[in-house]
Structure 1
Amino acid sequence: MSMARSVSSLAYPERFYAAASYVGFSGSPSSSTAALSKFQSDVALLLYGLYQQATVGPCNVSKPRAWNPVEHSKWTSWHGLGNMASIEAMRLFVKILEEEDPAWYSRVPEPTVKPNSEMHPKVESSGETAIPDGTFFPEPKHISTENGGPIETQDKDIIMEGLGAIAIYDKWVAPPISGQQPKPRYQHGAAVVKDKMYIFGGNHNGRYLNDLQVLDLKSLMWSKIDAKVAKGTSESSTPAHVAPLAGHSLISWDDKILSVAGHSKDPSETVTVKEFDPQTLTWSNLRTYGKPPISRGGQSVTLVGTTLVMFGGEDAKRSLLNDLHILDLETMTWDDVDAIGTPPSPRSDHAAACHAERYLLIFGGGSHATCFNDLHVLDLQTMEWSRPNQQGVTPGPRAGHAGIKVGENWFIVGGGDNKNGVSETLVLHMSTLVWSVVTSVQGRVPLASEGLSVVLSTCNGEDYLVSFGGYNGRYSNEVYVLKPSHKSDLQSKIFDKPTSDSMAAVIPSTNVGRDVAPESEAAQDGKITEIMMDNVDSGILHMRTEESGERIIAALEAEKEELEVTLNREQLQNIQRKQELAEAETKNVEISKELQSLRGQLAAEQSRCFKLEVDLAELRQKLQNMETLQKEVELLQRQKAASEQAALSARQRQNSGGVWGWLAGNPAEKSSDYS
């Protein structure tokens, strides 16, 4: 039986070696040099470096002499990859080849190159291939026919395809994905219907999208859906259409997908609800009744029984909201709810989940300038808001994160705090309100970004979280998968006390970080029972019942010792901080005394200044009086001078009369004579 010609059925190593065969790499220097001529120099050198990293490992050979530029460039490309894992180098090799030549697999020569034992170690007991990230991919089995000739077949009990090939717990891995990848985006919607993840809309470079993409979670192959629009579903006279959206919510309901709210270029006045039918590949607008909420994006929409509970968001005018609305899916009627208590502050891009079909949990989100890390609970029976106490690790502020519920556990992935993307994946055990860290990622990867989506898929009885997209400086279209262990279950069984429906009881936080969860399977003879005990530091441990008690005690004792060390360290730091506080208080007293002295000096100077101002005012008044007196003196002097001048003139006239006056006949004298 020949190997299937389906890219989706190939695991990383098979895809890589098929790609290497197509490019022309066979391990010899001559063949690799010939293969470099198929691509541009930079791409060819990168492919060479990735091939060496995947098959040989990190570059430990000495740097070639500078007179050979080709070998020098190849060495530089390989050496620059550092300690990149082999499986990551394989993934990047195939990804770059698909970008350069999307149809490469259709031209792969048969038979494809099979990995040898040195480059591709096998687990003989299970017939699986181990790769560095802990994932096991199946190998074909060879069994003999009746005439002794070997044929190649596959054991259906061992072959694991799609998500089932991921065996490592509580770590994000990038599975092999085939098909044409969707355009990178964030603030899109995602929902799962019958082992298929549907992606609709989103934001790319500031433009809203309206394409519908689907990822088959069994074959891990992307495909695009050319959806139709049902006729006669538009309430206006114009034909119905699916407007580009971002910040909307996709909800799986009755094997269909509901799209609720979202930002659009030409927003309507109220929230619109659309429905996609995967069977007919048709969009239709749903008519609602009651008082619909105003249009918005970045809200949370949570399925609770047969209703949708919508909270918050941001309207078309960028006003933040914290209103509450409920849509009855059976009657399609909106209800505007006025809850009692203190609601969360207005926000968007938060996460919401429902616990026990009664309690709505709201976590995080952001305003225009602030990100939150608060947790609010709404009792949907009493319609009362509360803010319960949280235990365990303290989540950092974030907005644009994604949340998904798996049983009693609520997983929070990604988000940002206006500075950086959030690297840790958190889980909240909703019955006890205890936070713990599942895993963390390194570097600027899509999992530490805003506007990503996370959905839940079940394969072979196992749960898987599937993330897509996001933005952290660049738009992403990558898929990551996490297989969660149920490590919070035992914590709730050991520490949880009988609680009322008000969720008032909360477990202590001293044992957070080493949650233990058992899973037992009885064998046919009833003698062997295995317990899976999950530990944050040590991973997944399988043990038999006769050893479990001792190991649990040892783990608890080790945890106690670590907690005591941590407590001693905290106490020492507390003492140091108290000393620093005492020194600061002493300095504060001295500074206060100096400040009081300066205040006294300032008061004295102010009093002296006031006196000087009074004296200055008096001097100014005296100066004005002196100026007035001086003017009067000058006036008197001028009058006196005028009087003296007049008198002098009179005397001069009298004296100058004499004989001439008599001869001429002085009128005065004449008059005197007549008299």
Structure 2
Amino acid sequence: MSVVARSTSSLAYPERFYAAASYVGFGGSLNSSTAALSKFQNDVALLLYGLYQQATVGPCNVPKPRAWNPVEHSKWTSWNGLGNMASTEAMRLFVKILEEEDPAWYSRVPEPTVEHKFEMPKPKVESSGETASPDEISFSEPKHISRENGGLIETQDKDIIMEGLGAIGVYDQWVAPPISGQQPKPRYQHGAAVVKDKMYIFGGNHNGRYLNDLQVLDLKSLMWSKIDAKVTKGPSESSTPAHVAPLAGHSLISWDEKILSIAGHTKDPSETVTVKQFDPQTLTWSNLRTYGKPPISRGGQSVTLVGTTLVMFGGEDAKRSLLNDLHILDLETMTWDDIDAIGTPPSPRSDHAAACHAERYLLIFGGGSHATCFNDLHVLDLQNMEWSRPKQQGVTPGPRAGHAGIKVGENWFVVGGGDNKNGVSETLVLHMSALVWSVVTSVKGRVPLASEGLSVVLSTCNGEDYLVSFGGYNGRYSNEVYVLKPSYKSDLQSKIFDKPTSDSMAVVIASTNVGRDVAPESEATQDGKITEIMMDNVDSGPLHMRTEESGEHIITALKAEKEELEVTLNREQLQNLQLKQELAEAETKNVEISKELQSLRGQLAAEQSRCFKLEVDLAELRQKLQNMETLQKEVELLQRQKAASEQAALSARQRQNSGGVWGWLAGNPAEKPSDYS
């Protein structure tokens, strides 16, 4: 998009605001701007007036007009109702309301000969010290020079009031801001993390060599500096100059105002993944001790912070084997747990991107193997530990690996990457609730944003979100910084503008003090009319009466909402009390069951001891029984021997007696006794 294109998106908010204010007719009095404001509803005109005063003068501190002047009274009420709203918020809301009411307003603004940069007008101060009438504020128009650079806008205006990221006003385009300080060595596959408005860059790959330097970019001053860190080896050892092992393909995670470095490729890899911690306060590195079963060492993995846990997926190990395993590190106990999820997981890969939606769903997009790149999207339900591959909508993203992703609310921005042929020039965004892809912007030429191994972090400045990119490789190594200011409709604003129009004014005013405010997309009704933000059902009565009636409606709506919230709160408190009672009963039952269990365990131990004694007695009885059987056999043997002996003796006597009879019969009678001789 050309910088001088006739579109509001080509202007920063101050320029866009003052162009809108000039179109509406502010700069003179409200009464002299009747022709320009007549196209709006009176309440809309009043709100525009109040927002203009808030943006240019600040919070209302002028006395309340007398009631006999209804117009001035209504103007004062509109301005005073904005409270302490920031001027930038008032600017954005002013432009947004104008674009909702008159979408083609900018096309009717006279074409300027040069681009202008409007500075914030300074209110005139009278001798009494009071602020002059807000209708007497004038505009100043110093020059503003911008130039194109292959789809990238490079800011050249030395008169910019805001510093750092806040000086970037253009939306949805990558900007190369002016950077000071000594730039880091060009690299890719490094790690990046943000802590307290500072982006830390650690490690990476340059010309095939791993790096171990630690660089920091102050996002307020946009100045680079190098950190000479120390490393602590143990509680009893003093800090020494850092010799952290050079590495690339690791992950940097911000946690508890510290930075964790997980995994990565090193020259001498360890067997398992190591976790290091850098403390920005003490400028020291330390090795964290983990428990459980740590994953094997790897690089090119994704590590996603989900609550108080880190979810690691995939990567490439030291033997160049691709992985698709899943591991979780509990940061409170520093314990690893390997997960066996159900469903079909993504194929083994590295250099993919991952994000978590609603603290429950892990999204994996893209990545590559040794031969190809992917453009598939996989979702892991961390509650059920189940993989799925949902249907994607919107534009079809091309295959890529080495890209970077960052989540901003409901939106997941994916930047850069390559497909083994060319760098990817499109910056994509995925609305994670609807799984709809769209293209944010596209860069031209061989720029670092169309690179592999770049990093993207999220930073917030003055209530605005900024994507900050660094490094990458697309045939050459980069050390350049680019910034993109995304325009998106936040969830809060989506809910606000879906409310009924009867109380929409109060909601819009209140919303400017809550969260970010970005130009919403116009929503059309069935008959093609644009949905109005402001009230359009007011009658034609006097202006101050309609304003007071509007205020009454607002108060009534707020009271009704308060009553609903109180009822809901009472219901929640009652449920909470019931849950506490149930919990107390459950704990009492648990104590009783524990006591019964302990008693049963004692009885079981006694029975086990008694059983053991019975087994010993049984063994002794069996031994005695065996001895008795042996004795029985011996007795039976002796009895048989005795019987045999008796039988033999009997047989011998019988033979002796039988021999005397036969001898007598044979004529050899036995000798007669001597008394027969």
Q: Name the counterpart of 2:510.
A: 508
Q: Name the counterpart of 2:322.
A: 320
Counterpart-to-counterpart distance in 1, 2:331 and 2:613: 83
Counterpart-to-counterpart distance in 1, 2:542 and 2:315: 39
Q: Name the counterpart of 1:664.
A: 666
CA distance 1:32–1:649, shift in 2 (3 Å): farther
**CA shift digits 1:207-247 (9 cap, x unpaired):** 00000000000000000000011131799999984100100
- For residue 536 of structure 2, give the secondary structure of its aligned residue in structure 1: strand
Counterpart-to-counterpart distance in 2, 1:656 and 1:567: 128
CA distance 1:141–1:250, shift in 2 (3 Å): same
Number of residue pairs the alignment of both structures matches:
674
Cα drift, residue 384 of structure 1 = 0.2
How well do the aligned residues superpose, as a CA RMSD in angstroms? 25.0
Counterpart-to-counterpart distance in 2, 1:148 and 1:206: 29
8 Å Cα contact 1:416-1:422 kept in structure 2: yes
When structure 1 is superposed on structure 2, of 421-430 and 28-37 the one drifting more is 28-37
Cα drift, residue 441 of structure 1 = 0.1
- For residue 427 of structure 2, give the secondary structure of its aligned residue in structure 1: strand
8 Å Cα contact 2:355-2:407 kept in structure 1: yes
8 Å Cα contact 1:25-1:35 kept in structure 2: no
CA distance 1:517–1:241, shift in 2 (3 Å): same
**CA shift digits 1:137-159 (9 cap, x unpaired):** 99999999999999999999993
CA distance 1:117–1:222, shift in 2 (3 Å): same
When structure 1 is superposed on structure 2, of 271-280 and 7-16 the one drifting more is 7-16
Give the TM-score normalised by the residue count of structure 1: 0.52
Cα drift, residue 609 of structure 1 = 91
**CA shift digits 1:556-590 (9 cap, x unpaired):** 99999999999999999999999999999999999
Cα drift, residue 627 of structure 1 = 97
CA distance 1:617–1:667, shift in 2 (3 Å): farther
Q: Name the counterpart of 2:115.
A: 114
CA distance 1:620–1:105, shift in 2 (3 Å): farther
Counterpart-to-counterpart distance in 2, 1:276 and 1:617: 67
Cα drift, residue 289 of structure 1 = 0.3
8 Å Cα contact 1:467-1:480 kept in structure 2: yes
CA distance 1:490–1:607, shift in 2 (3 Å): closer
**CA shift digits 1:579-612 (9 cap, x unpaired):** 9999999999999999999999999999999999
Cα drift, residue 12 of structure 1 = 18
**CA shift digits 1:635-672 (9 cap, x unpaired):** 99999999999999999999999999999999999999
When structure 1 is superposed on structure 2, of 23-32 and 226-235 the one drifting more is 23-32
8 Å Cα contact 2:155-2:176 kept in structure 1: no
**CA shift digits 1:243-297 (9 cap, x unpaired):** 0010000000000000000000000000000000000000000000000000000
Counterpart-to-counterpart distance in 1, 2:132 and 2:419: 37
Counterpart-to-counterpart distance in 1, 2:362 and 2:62: 59
CA distance 1:668–1:377, shift in 2 (3 Å): same
Greater relative contact order (Cα < 8 A, sep 6+): 2
**CA shift digits 1:302-343 (9 cap, x unpaired):** 000000000000000000000000000000000010000000
**CA shift digits 1:606-638 (9 cap, x unpaired):** 999999999999999999999999999999999
**CA shift digits 1:84-117 (9 cap, x unpaired):** 9999999999999999999999999999999999
Counterpart-to-counterpart distance in 2, 1:393 and 1:533: 36
Counterpart-to-counterpart distance in 1, 2:477 and 2:233: 35
When structure 1 is superposed on structure 2, of 231-240 and 601-610 the one drifting more is 601-610
**CA shift digits 1:143-199 (9 cap, x unpaired):** 999999999999999931000000000000000000000000000000000000000
Counterpart-to-counterpart distance in 2, 1:502 and 1:166: 31
Structure 1 moving runs of 4+ over 3 Å: 1-119, 121-158, 233-241, 487-517, 519-675
**CA shift digits 1:347-388 (9 cap, x unpaired):** 000000000000000000000010000000000000000000
8 Å Cα contact 2:117-2:141 kept in structure 1: no
- For residue 247 of structure 2, give the secondary structure of its aligned residue in structure 1: coil
When structure 1 is superposed on structure 2, of 93-102 and 630-639 the one drifting more is 630-639
8 Å Cα contact 1:174-1:479 kept in structure 2: yes
8 Å Cα contact 2:27-2:135 kept in structure 1: no
Counterpart-to-counterpart distance in 1, 2:510 and 2:52: 51
8 Å Cα contact 1:403-1:411 kept in structure 2: yes
- For residue 598 of structure 1, give the secondary structure of its aligned residue in structure 2: helix
8 Å Cα contact 1:373-1:398 kept in structure 2: yes
When structure 1 is superposed on structure 2, of 607-616 and 166-175 the one drifting more is 607-616
Q: Name the counterpart of 1:21.
A: 22
Counterpart-to-counterpart distance in 2, 1:456 and 1:342: 32
Cα drift, residue 551 of structure 1 = 27
CA distance 1:140–1:434, shift in 2 (3 Å): same
Counterpart-to-counterpart distance in 2, 1:500 and 1:26: 31
- For residue 215 of structure 1, give the secondary structure of its aligned residue in structure 2: strand
- For residue 412 of structure 2, give the secondary structure of its aligned residue in structure 1: strand
8 Å Cα contact 2:186-2:479 kept in structure 1: yes
Counterpart-to-counterpart distance in 2, 1:113 and 1:219: 29
Counterpart-to-counterpart distance in 1, 2:237 and 2:146: 67
Q: Name the counterpart of 1:475.
A: 477
Q: Which runs of 5+ in 2 are unaligned?
A: none
Give the TM-score normalised by the residue count of structure 2: 0.52
When structure 1 is superposed on structure 2, of 69-78 and 410-419 the one drifting more is 69-78
Counterpart-to-counterpart distance in 1, 2:563 and 2:439: 21
Q: Name the counterpart of 1:492.
A: 494
Counterpart-to-counterpart distance in 2, 1:149 and 1:318: 37
8 Å Cα contact 1:301-1:352 kept in structure 2: yes
Percent identity of paired positions between Structure 1 and Structure 2: 93
- For residue 424 of structure 2, give the secondary structure of its aligned residue in structure 1: coil
When structure 1 is superposed on structure 2, of 461-470 and 620-629 the one drifting more is 620-629
- For residue 448 of structure 1, give the secondary structure of its aligned residue in structure 2: coil
**CA shift digits 1:18-73 (9 cap, x unpaired):** 99999999999999999999999999999999999999999999999999999999
CA distance 1:240–1:346, shift in 2 (3 Å): same
Counterpart-to-counterpart distance in 2, 1:445 and 1:146: 13
When structure 1 is superposed on structure 2, of 574-583 and 414-423 the one drifting more is 574-583
Counterpart-to-counterpart distance in 2, 1:343 and 1:243: 32
Counterpart-to-counterpart distance in 2, 1:19 and 1:32: 13
Counterpart-to-counterpart distance in 1, 2:536 and 2:86: 25
CA distance 1:286–1:37, shift in 2 (3 Å): farther
